[in-house]
Amino acid sequence: MLHDRSPLDAGSDTATLNATFAATLVDEWARAGVTDAVVCPGSRSTPVAVALADDGRIRVHVHHDERSGAFVALGLGRATGRPALVLTTSGTAAVELHPAVVEADRDRVPLLAVTADRPPELREVGAPQTVDQTHLFGRSARLFVDPGPPVAANAASWRSLAVRCVLEAAASPPGPVHLNLPFREPLLGTSADLPPGRADDRPWHLAPASAGGPSWGHTHLGELLAGRRGVIVAGGGIGRPEDVLVLAEVAGWPVLADPRSGCRVEHPCVVVHADAVLRSDGPHRQPGAVLRLGSPPSSKVVARWLAELDPAVPQVLVERHGTWLDPDRRAHVVVPAEPGELCRVLAGEADRGGDELVDRALDVAVEGWPPTPVGWLEGWCRADAAAAGAIAEVLADQEGPTEPGTARSVAAAVPYGGALVVSSSMPVRDLEWFAGTLPGVAVHANRGANGIDGVVSTAVGVALAGAPTVALVGDVALLHDSNALLGLARRDVDLCVVVVHNDGGGIFSFLPPADELPTDRFEELFGTPHGVDLTALAVAHGLPVMEAMDDGSVEVAVRAGLAAGGPHVVLVRTDRGANVALHERVHEATGSAIREALVTDP
Q: What is the pLDDT of residues 488-503, one digit of tens each?
A: 999 999 999 999 999 9
Preceding amide of 173 cis, omega within 30: yes
Q: What is the pLDDT of residue 475?
A: 97
pLDDT of 179: 98
Core vs surface per residue 515-529: b (16+ CB within 10 A) or e: eeeeeeebbeebbee
The predicted structure's pLDDT at residue 219? 43
Per-position DSSP letters for 474-542, written without gaps between them:
EHHHHHHTGGGGTTGGGS---EEEEEEE-SS-GGGGGSTHHHHS-HHHHIIIII------HHHHHHHTT
Distance from C-alpha of 180 to C-alpha of 191, rounded to nearest angstrom: 20
CA contacts within 13 A on the Cβ side of 45: 24
Among 2, 126, 92, 128, which residue's Cα sits nearest to residue 54? Answer: 2
Average pLDDT over residues 85-97: 97
pLDDT at 58: 98
| pLDDT score of 602 | 43
Dist. CA 527–CA 512, nearest whole Å: 13
Q: Answer yes or no: is pLDDT of 123 > 60.
A: yes
Tens digit of each residue's pLDDT (9 = 90 or more) over 129-162: 899 999 999 999 999 999 999 999 999 999 999 9
Amino acid at the residue 352: R
Q: Which domains does the chain have, with CATH numbers?
A: 14-186 (3.40.50.970), 223-379 (3.40.50.1220), 402-573 (3.40.50.970)
Tell me the mean pLDDT in the region 519-531.
93
Phi, psi dihedral angles at 471 (to 5 degrees): -115, 135
User: pTM, whole model, 2 decimals?
Assistant: 0.88
pLDDT at 369: 66
Q: What is the pLDDT of residues 259-268, one digit of tens each?
A: 999 999 999 9
Instruction: Tell me how many degrees the CA angle 457-462-465 measures, rounded to the nearest 5.
Output: 130
pLDDT of residue 413: 97
What was the pLDDT predicted at 217?
A: 35
Q: What is the pLDDT of residues 180-214, one digit of tens each?
A: 999 999 999 999 999 999 988 999 988 764 433 33
Q: What is the pLDDT of residue 209?
A: 45
Q: How confident is the model at residue 350 (pLDDT cuts 50, 70, 90)?
A: low
Cβ-count burial of 351 within 10 angstroms (0-12 exposed, 13-18 middle, 19+ buried)?
exposed
The pLDDT assigned to 113 comes to 98
Mean pLDDT score of the chain: 91
CA distances from 535 to 226, 497, 501, 582 (A): 55, 12, 10, 26
